Amino acid sequence: MGLRVRTACALVIIGVVLVGCTSKPATKKDVCKNFDRLGVQLFQGNGIFGNPLFHRADELSDLAGRYHGANDLSVDAKALHDIAESDSTNGDELMSATRHLADLCGHPLGTNALFGGNP
């Protein structure tokens, strides 16, 4: 085999491994931990650098999309993805986008930031 073929095969194998690692099913604990982090970030605001609120929404969208429990989080995953891709949002929009997540985690978005809890 030539060097180009070996290099291409190695890159394909690495890509398959990386995709497999990032697409494993998410647990309820993972989802709720990130749900609480989004709630804390909502009250901290978006900041000046890096759009942390939108990054948190995108992370939670990914986890919600990979959750395969009794609760169907696909609607929330889509809504959070749309928010993450936008350039603005507000608390009402985030609350509306996380209704199924709130049911799964047992409290509305941001409750942990107001009343304590570990994000």
Report pLDDT digits (tens) over 44-64. Answer: 887 666 789 999 999 999 999
Identify whether 101 is part of a domain. Answer: yes
Residue 93 scores a pLDDT above 60: yes
Identify whether 17 is part of a domain. Answer: no
- Is 53:72 a contact under the CB 8 Å cutoff? no
Identify whether 20 is part of a domain. Answer: no
| Count of domains observed in the chain | 1
- Is 94:83 a contact under the CB 8 Å cutoff? yes
- Is 116:110 a contact under the CB 8 Å cutoff? no
DSSP assignment, residue 97? H
Domain residues for the domain of 95 are 25-115
pLDDT for 12: 54
How many whole angstroms separate alpha carbon 35 and alpha carbon 15?
29
Full-prediction pTM beyond 0.95?
Answer: no
